[in-house]
């Protein structure tokens, strides 16, 4: 895997423009004493073409943060700018439409998208052909006619990935996308995702529990604290790509981050 690196990835800070900018973002669920402060003053920038991994204990507000960036929910305080372009999201669950075939699920992303190259939505036959291409990327080309429930959990996640890619967005939000996969498929999809990210110059905000996965993929790993969620630390990952999840370098950096994460969790234990 020796794809040429484009310049924008090597220097994400060039020009100081941002793909996503969170400025003092807080999110409160409920009100008053019964309310729950899920996020407290989170500030975070993602540069165009940057791959940022969000790491944190369960319930620390990672999904909340993504849905705020996606515009599915409004912050209680603070500002969010994600106006560079279209935003695609992969949810923690596959969130496929059970009444559609796998192919039609992907086609829905093509049908709904506006503008783009060639003005207007692609026609039916063309949509089908393009959906097949996206399914091929996640190695599910032969499963287009199946329904989501006929696939395994991991395969469904891959369909969700194909659907997110089909949106042709500039910003990709991913909420533990590979949680349901076995280690080997996950490795393969890491390679695929890295490749697509490079080719399309995507900005990615990637949520995970898995420290090694974060180090494997991210230009930066951002650690969140729990209740309320705050940015604890921002780890740049300067290892050369392509990386391997089971390499010593990745393990080394992961260990350092895990230590910090453990401190954070222990702080709550008391």
Ligand X SMILES: Nc1ncnc2c1ncn2[C@@H]1O[C@H](COP(=O)(O)OP(=O)(O)OP(=O)(O)O)[C@@H](O)[C@H]1O
Binding site residues, ligand X, CB under 6 A: 29, 36, 38, 56, 58-64, 92
Q: Give the residue closest to Mg ion by C-beta.
A: 63
DSSP string, 203-219: EEEEEES-HHHHHHH-S
Decide if residue 136 touches another protein (CB under 8 A): yes
Measured from the CB of residue 46, what is the shortest distance to ligand X in angstroms? Answer: 18
Decide if residue 161 touches another protein (CB under 8 A): no
The CA distances from residue 110 to 126, 130, 134, 160, 167, in Å, are: 10, 8, 11, 13, 6
Binding to Mg ion in span 92-111, by CB under 5 A: 92
By CB under 5 A, name the one of 8, 37, 63, 93 that touches Mg ion.
63
- Which C-beta is closer to Mg ion: that of 141 or that of 179? 179
Which pairing describes strands 77-81 and 20-29: parallel, antiparallel, or unpaired?
antiparallel
Residue 115's Cβ-count burial label (10 Å; 0-12, 13-18, 19+) is exposed
Measured from the CB of residue 264, what is the shortest distance to another protein in angstroms? Answer: 29
The CA distances from residue 79 to 21, 42, 245, in Å, are: 8, 10, 35
Closest among 152, 151, 177, 181 to 164, alpha carbons compared? 177
CA distance 214 to 235: 10
- Which C-beta is closer to ligand X: that of 5 or that of 77? 77
By CB under 8 A, name the one of 152, 246, 255, 262 that touches another protein.
152
Measured from the CB of residue 199, what is the shortest distance to another protein in angstroms? Answer: 6
**Stretch touching another protein by CB under 8 A, among 54-62, 147-155, 209-217, 255-263:** 147-155
Residue 74 binding result from another protein, Mg ion, ligand X, none, given CB thresholds of 5 to 8 Å by partner type: none
Characterise 95 by phi-psi region: left (phi > 0), alpha (psi -120 to 50), beta (else).
left
- Which C-beta is closer to ligand X: that of 39 or that of 202? 39
Between 166 and 205, how does the x/- string for binding to another protein read (CB under 8 A)?
A: -xx-------------x-xx--x--xx--xx--xx-----
Strand segments, DSSP code E, in the chain are 20-29, 36-46, 51-55, 77-81, 87-90, 171-175, 203-208, 220-224, 231-236
Residue 121 binding result from another protein, Mg ion, ligand X, none, given CB thresholds of 5 to 8 Å by partner type: none
Measured from the CB of residue 268, what is the shortest distance to Mg ion in angstroms? Answer: 17
Residue 64 binding result from ligand X, another protein, Mg ion, none, given CB thresholds of 5 to 8 Å by partner type: ligand X
Our separate counts of H helices and E strands in the chain read 8, 9
């Amino acid at each position: 895997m020796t794809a040429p690196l484009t310049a924008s990835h090597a220097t994400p800070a060039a020009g100081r423009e941002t793909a996503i900018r969170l400025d003092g973002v807080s999110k409160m669920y409920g009100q008053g004493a019964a309310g729950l402060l899920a996020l407290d003053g989170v500030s975070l920038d993602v540069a165009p073409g940057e791959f940022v991994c969000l790491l944190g204990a369960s319930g620390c507000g990672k999904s909340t943060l993504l849905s705020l960036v996606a515009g599915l929910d409004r912050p209680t305080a603070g500002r969010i700018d994600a106006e560079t372009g279209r935003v695609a999201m992969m949810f923690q669950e596959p969130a496929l439409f059970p009444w559609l075939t796998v192919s039609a699920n992907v086609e829905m992303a093509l049908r709904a998208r506006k503008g783009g190259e060639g003005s207007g939505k692609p026609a039916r036959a063309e949509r089908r052909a393009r959906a097949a291409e996206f399914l091929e990327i996640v190695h599910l080309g032969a499963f287009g006619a199946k329904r989501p429930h006929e696939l395994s959990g991991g395969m469904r996640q891959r369909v969700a990935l194909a659907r997110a890619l089909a949106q042709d967005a500039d910003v990709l939000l991913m909420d533990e996308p590979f949680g349901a996969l076995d280690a080997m498929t996950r490795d393969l999809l890491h390679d695929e995702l890295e490749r697509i990210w490079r080719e399309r110059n995507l900005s990615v905000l990637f949520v995970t529990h898995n420290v090694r996965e974060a180090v494997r993929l991210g230009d930066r790993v951002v650690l969140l604290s729990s209740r309320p969620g705050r940015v604890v630390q921002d780890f740049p990952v300067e290892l050369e790509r392509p990386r391997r999840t089971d390499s010593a370098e990745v393990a080394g950096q992961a260990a350092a981050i895990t230590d910090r994460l453990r401190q954070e969790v222990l702080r709550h234990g008391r």
